[in-house]
A and B are shown apart, each in its own frame.
Chain A
Amino acid sequence: MATIITAGNLTRLAGELMKAGCRVIAPAKLDGMVVFKAITDEHEMLPEGEYILPHSSFKEFVFPRTECILRYRLGEQGKVSYEATNLDAEPAQAAIGCRPCDAASLPILDKVFGWDYRDEFYFKRREKLTVVSIACSRAGERCYCTSVGCAPDSKAGSDILLKKTAGDKYVVEALSDKGRQLAEKHASLFEKAEGEPPVEVVDLKPAFDVEKIKPWLDTHFEDPLWLDMAARCMGCGTCAYGCPTCHCFDIVDEGDLRGGCRLKNWDTCAAVLFTKHGSGHNPRTSQEQRYRQRVMHKFKYYLEKFGLRACVGCGRCSNRCPVGQDLYAVLKTIAERAAK
């Protein structure tokens, strides 16, 4: 017995959830782009056939680009009063129609945000989020999930995983309690089918052996190859801000003599200021060193510390980079070098 949902009912599910006060995050159009959007009408949600991967990841809904974490007031005689942002009143949220790679980024983010200190701002939002992803039946030009150990039907991070089957229908797999609850609550939208309907999942062959990457990185912190591979990077935030697993942030105070806000803003290791010390010293003086950090962090440090790579192979960094810096090509070069 398999559980099935039709494409029409998936849209209805979005509608029902919204009616129940849930924030529905779905791929939708913004000018020429497909982006994850908190939709207000279920028909804004694009049919799955019309996109492969939205332009930016949905991490914004667990880790906003800018977020006020507390407000403070400066009173008489230096008295400070403050009020921390309380996210308890945030609505439940559901991401519908995201891809397995995006879903897989959540367990990766969980690690860093819950490691020595538990980031409440992240986890409050994260706990309220239910993820309904759709396995890919097509892959984009720069999709390389399978090369980095993820997959077009990966279960990681999804509460419900849908797989395409004949007749604009999806086979439903509830993977967590959250997923099962959601399916039960909206049971009328799901149907049963006999046996195991055949599902369409793209067959994407790995392009390189990812196991070779870390050993090479371990021994090649200094290597002329970095200059070749990374000199073109010009240090913007495009790759990091689009990446589902990039998680660096900066804390800034914005205010004046009366008071203000403390904000948590996205930040990126590609920026010159990222590592600049108060003394004026900057340990990463050149752009290839900064790019090296990006690769090292994702494929070496993160793996060492948390047992996971901080990359799901979504290809956004390669797609979005204004100067065509391509992580995929870099990894491939490294893997080839390492194989020699």
Chain B
Amino acid sequence: MYLKRDEVLKRGKVGLVVKGCDARAVTGLIQESQVARERLVLIGMACDGVGEPLLDMCKHCDVHTPAGPGADAHRLACDYVSGKATVADAKPEDEGWLDDVRKIEALMPPERWAFWQEKLSRCIRCYACRQVCPLCYCKRCLVEKNEPQWISSSAHEAGNFAWNIIRAMHLAGRCIGCGACERACPQDIPLTLLNKKMAESVARHFKYRAGYDPTAAPAVKAFDKADENDFFR
């Protein structure tokens, strides 16, 4: 999230120490042409997981050791890699990370609505979620477009609903699941639930997971003629 700042950019080449998940964020930025690989010197660090207790995302991490020089073109290759993780990578088909999403899905629609109404009503529009997000790099976020004001900037329920839905939508297929937004949120809003739901949809429909392959087109930028069409009349 500091990578795109003018202060940083004008200093030339940037050295960056990355864990596997950070490498996914950088991959996303490269895929979206936000930073050129040549401008970075990447130092990969093996990581067994962080947080006390271990963060949920780390339990389901499948990039404990970043890829180093000589990795195949479909992984972001760091210039140096230090160490090797001692824990095994999660399997892609590991569904455990979706447990909390499934719990919400199991609710009746009015209960889901009530759940989100309560959670989102807390939002104070500090935009910490956006500021810490590695993929929310817009110089001027949609919520700051005020001619006309596209998304109400007021922290009332309607404004908060619009903001949080659109934020989640903008990160669909791009969010690398780092969870920074939720950790930053001072109001304890479970933003990760929304992000995970979108990641799950993207994986199910488009067989795509964000931040793995620097050569791939991001899910919502690409399309396939054979994409799901059933919900259209």
A contacts B directly (C-beta below 8 A): yes
Could you list which residues of chain A lie within 8 angstroms of chain B, going by C-beta atoms?
A: 30-33, 55-56, 65-66, 231-232, 234-238, 240-242, 250, 252, 254, 263, 265-266, 268, 271-273, 286-287, 320, 322-323
The answer to whether A31 and B188 touch (CB under 8 A), given A234-B131, A273-B144, is yes
Any A CB within 8 A of the CB of B112: no
Contact between B132 and A241, CB atoms less than 8 A apart: no
Contact between B124 and A234, CB atoms less than 8 A apart: no
Contact between B2 and A234, CB atoms less than 8 A apart: yes
Contact between B188 and A241, CB atoms less than 8 A apart: no
Contact between B149 and A30, CB atoms less than 8 A apart: no
> What are 17 A-B contacts defined by CB distance under 8 Å?
A31-B188, A66-B154, A232-B2, A236-B127, A236-B184, A237-B124, A238-B126, A250-B153, A252-B146, A252-B153, A263-B154, A266-B125, A272-B144, A286-B6, A287-B5, A322-B183, A322-B184
Any A CB within 8 A of the CB of B96: no
Any A CB within 8 A of the CB of B152: yes
Partner of A236 from B128, B153, B183 at Cβ < 8 Å: B128
Query: In the bound complex, how far is the Cα of B177 from the Cα of A138, in angstroms?
Result: 38
Contact between B149 and A237, CB atoms less than 8 A apart: no
- Shortest distance between the CB of A318 and any CB in chain B (Å): 13
Category for how many chain B residues contact A = 20 to 34
Query: In the bound complex, how far is the Cα of B184 from the Cα of A9, in angstroms?
Result: 38
Contact partners of B1 in chain A: CB under 8 A: 234
- Shortest distance between the CB of A12 and any CB in chain B (Å): 29
Any A CB within 8 A of the CB of B156: yes
Contact partners of A238 in chain B: CB under 8 A: 126, 128, 184, 186
Contact partners of B144 in chain A: CB under 8 A: 272-273
Query: Which chain B residue shows the least CB distance to A285?
Result: B6
Contact partners of B130 in chain A: CB under 8 A: 236
Query: In the bound complex, how far is the Cα of B150 from the Cα of A321, in angstroms?
Result: 28
Partner of A241 from B5, B124, B149, B183 at Cβ < 8 Å: B124
Contact partners of A231 in chain B: CB under 8 A: 7
Contact partners of B149 in chain A: CB under 8 A: 252, 254
Query: Which chain B residue shows the least CB distance to A31?
Result: B188
Contact partners of A272 in chain B: CB under 8 A: 144
Contact between A32 and B188, CB atoms less than 8 A apart: yes
